[in-house]
Amino acid sequence: MSSQTDGEFQKVVPSARRLSETLRDTGHDFNTAVADLIDNCISAGATEVKITARFNEGDPWIRIADNGGGMSPEVLNEALRFGSEVEHYASNDLGKFGIGLKTASHSQCRRLIVATRPRKNSPIHCRVHDLDHLGASNRWEIEVVPADAVPVRASEPLSRDRVGTVVLWENLDRLRNYAAPAGRHARDGFNRRLDELNEYLGMVFHRFLNGSVPKRPRLKISIENQAVRAWDPFCGDAPQTETWPEQLYEVHAGDLRGAALLTPYVLPTSHEFETSESHSAAGGRRGWNESQGFWIYRAHRLIQDGGWCNIRKRDEHIKLARAAIDFEPAMDAAFRIDLGKMRVTLPDELRNDLKAFVSQWVRHAEDRYRAGESDASKARRRSGKTGKRTGGRSGGASTQTGKAGRRTAARIAVALEEAANNTDTVEALESIKSEVRRIDDRSASDLGWR
């Protein structure tokens, strides 16, 4: 017997005008938006992704072109539907929600153009998803562009003997938030975003870029013809890096049964790196302190870069401890991955299972850090460099920061990070950190932002 009462049902279609604008703010920033599109390229079997970015005198456009399998008109139409009805994703597919192409793109631009060629010498299929049109018509519809009218920007990478897909972003309103959109500050900001994107993609897709993903060819990504290089958070090429035995944990999500693989590392101390530059580079884009903890991968694609997932707090003395946690898309429900594919929540049972091992592993990382600090201090005394030293980019000589000062700086950094999280200003804080690293290496190091 049905628990529902008999009655009349009416279709309630969401307002295209209101909802399309609301979905622009689902958590993407510029870097994660581009990464979401590269997920689609990988899922389409691409081995090469070329990103073209033009400032275009203050009216910028960005193009992501791949050599994947392309799409038929029917598949292309479905790909531009919010909540596309993909019956199921492959076990190693990087897609998830069926809204990534649209929400990622429109988080940055108002006009999205997709062109694709599924077979050599076949016509190019092209569609336009324009927020201004949706706002004017208030209907969920896309523009079908005839093959002979495809914009050159979209068709250029798809010569007749090539298959693949091109995603073109135009009307990038969220990159034009400058008093003078065509001015020097706007141009510098645009170029800086591209540099940060290069660094971000090298981190997120490092396993794909170095060819270590099973059953997948090596991936090539370029930005303005500059190759994106893989950045390994675990310093795998350094002989001093300690790799601990893998730990396999059972994970449950309702009736689902799966596993999470933990691979712990203890990284080299600062004086074990050949140069201060290589040590700084190993700290990653957010610095050594913030990079400690768990690096979480879904189907070999990085989702979360550091943090302890409420198992413990960050600490200067344990920053050599980093670990990979791997899970497969089938366990998404257990890990509660967010829409932007930037954060996951560890299942309670996994977090509890990890505590005992983490305590032992982190204790060893702390011992190694303290021993390294002691060795470095002895080396400085032997070389007579115990007093003052030349400052970083700020220029003058200054006394080395003592332990109490470093602890205070670390507390300030943690407070700033928590405040940014609580006030939804994480992206602003990341920009501040980048600028601090640029103008004053010493202060960035004291705050754990190197």
Distance of CA 427 to the CA centre of its chain: 13
Whether 385 and 376 have beta carbons less than 8 Å apart is answered as: no
Residue that finishes a domain, picked among 320, 352, 377: 377
Q: What is the pLDDT of residue 256?
A: 83
Considering the domain architecture, whether residues 353 and 430 belong to the same structural domain is answered as: no
Describe the strand order of the beta sheet including 48-54 as a list of residue ranges: 143-145, 125-130, 111-117, 164-170, 61-66, 48-54, 220-223, 226-227
Inside any domain, residue 311: yes
Considering the domain architecture, whether residues 307 and 246 belong to the same structural domain is answered as: yes
Q: What is the pLDDT of residue 399?
A: 37
Q: What is the pLDDT of residue 4?
A: 58
List the pLDDT tens digit at each of the 450 positions of the chain: 455 567 899 888 888 889 989 888 888 999 999 999 999 999 999 999 999 999 999 999 999 999 999 999 999 999 998 876 654 445 555 554 457 799 999 999 999 999 999 999 999 999 999 999 999 999 999 999 999 999 999 999 998 889 999 999 999 999 988 889 999 999 999 999 999 999 999 999 999 999 999 999 999 999 999 999 999 999 999 999 999 999 999 998 788 889 999 999 999 999 999 999 999 999 999 999 999 999 999 999 999 999 999 999 999 999 999 999 999 998 988 998 877 677 889 999 999 999 999 999 999 999 999 998 887 777 767 776 544 443 433 333 333 445 556 567 766 876 786 676 556 576 677 778 777 866 776 677 778 776
Inside any domain, residue 401: no
Inside any domain, residue 88: yes
DSSP-H helix ranges across 223-347 = 276-282, 288-291, 332-335
Inside any domain, residue 274: yes
Considering the domain architecture, whether residues 60 and 112 belong to the same structural domain is answered as: yes
Considering the domain architecture, whether residues 251 and 222 belong to the same structural domain is answered as: no
Q: Half-sphere exposure (CA, 13 Å, Cβ side) for 406?
A: 14
Inside any domain, residue 439: yes
Q: What domain count does the chain have? A: 3
Inside any domain, residue 395: no
| Residue 264: closest CA among 357, 370, 366 | 357
Considering the domain architecture, whether residues 131 and 102 belong to the same structural domain is answered as: yes
Q: What is the pLDDT of residue 447?
A: 81
Inside any domain, residue 139: yes
Instruction: Report the C-alpha gap between 38 and 309 in whole angstroms.
Output: 26
Q: What is the pLDDT of residue 263?
A: 98
**Where residue 55 sits, what CATH number does that domain have?**
3.30.565.10
Considering the domain architecture, whether residues 360 and 435 belong to the same structural domain is answered as: no
Considering the domain architecture, whether residues 167 and 146 belong to the same structural domain is answered as: yes
Considering the domain architecture, whether residues 363 and 256 belong to the same structural domain is answered as: yes
Residue that finishes a domain, picked among 227, 262, 293: 227
Residue that finishes a domain, picked among 166, 197, 227: 227
DSSP string, 46-92: -SEEEEEEE-GGG--EEEEEE-S----HHHHHHHTSTT---S---TT
Inside any domain, residue 343: yes
Considering the domain architecture, whether residues 153 and 284 belong to the same structural domain is answered as: no
Considering the domain architecture, whether residues 59 and 202 belong to the same structural domain is answered as: yes
Considering the domain architecture, whether residues 432 and 356 belong to the same structural domain is answered as: no
Residue 217's domain spans which residues?
Answer: 16-227
Considering the domain architecture, whether residues 216 and 92 belong to the same structural domain is answered as: yes
Q: What is the pLDDT of residue 422?
A: 59
Number of H helices, E strands in the chain: 15, 16
